[in-house]
Amino acid sequence: MTVLAAIEGSGAERVLVLHGWALDSGVWLAARALTDQARFTYAYLDFPGYGVNRNEASAAGVDGMARAALAAADSLGWDRFSVLGHSMGGVTAIRVATLAPRRIASVVALTPVSPGGTPLDAATYDVFKGAWADPGGAIKGALSPDIDAVSLGNLVKRNRASMTQPVWNDYLANWTSPSFMAELALCTMPVTLFVGSSDPFVTEGYLAQTVEALPNGSLKTIAGAGHYPQIEQPTATVAAWEAALVK
């Protein structure tokens, strides 16, 4: 059974937090000390195969990830909550909202991949798959060109500690293949998408169709950040997502 990695805060605003592809809920560590724990209760999930759930089989597709997220909320007795997700976890947060719209108060997605999928030709797919051999190079080269050396080193160490190469491969297939753009009309709650100003991958143009399809969607930029704004600009990023969650 999938378990939660951490639960923090005692606030009435409940937030389920979903990580991205390259590492588990440790991606939020720099930001967690900055959250408003009097207003919010944050529950951090490791997807099956990652972190505290690394002995579980990988979730099947984004739908399987969304079901794991909903099961985690059920385990807490949360009938209504918000969802915060990063990258792969960002698109999963949106999927959760389409599957259980009456339960979701709001969604915040940091540098999310597209609900319409990210089709890659075979050569490009192999490049992403092969990035397991050098995740630091992939992050610096294609996702966060301005990330500092210490943060990059920590990301790589946590990557190796939190997952295996088969899990890396499984979730690459998951995040490149969603196909629920037509269901975004179900997301009538506030949905806020954030991009990093120096992210060369998830850009305003890449997310334009997603924002247009969301009935109550908005797109904002975090200055001085690439694909990992919660690490690169944690203070500004936490303030931005907590403002978006309180609507």
Give me the CATH number covering residue 42. 3.40.50.1820
* pLDDT number for residue 71: 97
pTM for this predicted structure: 0.97
CA distance 73 to 32: 19
Would you mind telling me the total number of residues written for the chain in this entry? 247
* pLDDT number for residue 247: 64
Radius of gyration from C-alpha coordinates of the chain: 16
* pLDDT number for residue 141: 84
With residues binned 3-state (H G I as helix, E B as strand, rest as coil), the percentages for the chain, rounded to 5, are: 50, 15, 35
Neighbours of 86 (CB within 10 A): 31
- Structural domain total, the chain: 1
In the DSSP assignment, the letter for residue 139 is I
CA distance 108 to 28: 14
Q: Quick one: CA dihedral 126, 183, 48, 155, positive or negative? A: positive
pLDDT in tens, the chain (247 residues): 788 999 999 999 999 999 999 999 999 999 999 999 999 999 999 999 999 999 999 999 999 999 999 999 999 999 999 999 999 999 999 999 999 999 999 999 999 999 999 999 999 999 999 999 999 998 988 899 999 999 999 999 999 999 999 999 999 999 999 999 999 999 999 999 999 999 999 999 999 999 999 999 999 999 999 999 999 999 999 999 999 997 6
Instruction: Specify whether the CB–CB gap between 189 and 106 falls below 8 A.
Output: yes
Report which secondary-structure segment, H or E, holds 4: strand 4-9
Q: Which of 157, 25, 11, 21 is nearest to 82 (CA)?
A: 11
Domain that holds residue 88: 4-245
* pLDDT number for residue 88: 98
Pairing of strands 217-222, 191-196: parallel
Residues 117-123: contacts with CB under 8 Å, at least 24 apart = 117/176, 117/177, 117/178, 117/179, 118/175, 118/176, 119/176, 120/176
CA distance 52 to 48: 9
Tokens of residue 185, six digits: 């009309």
* pLDDT number for residue 69: 98
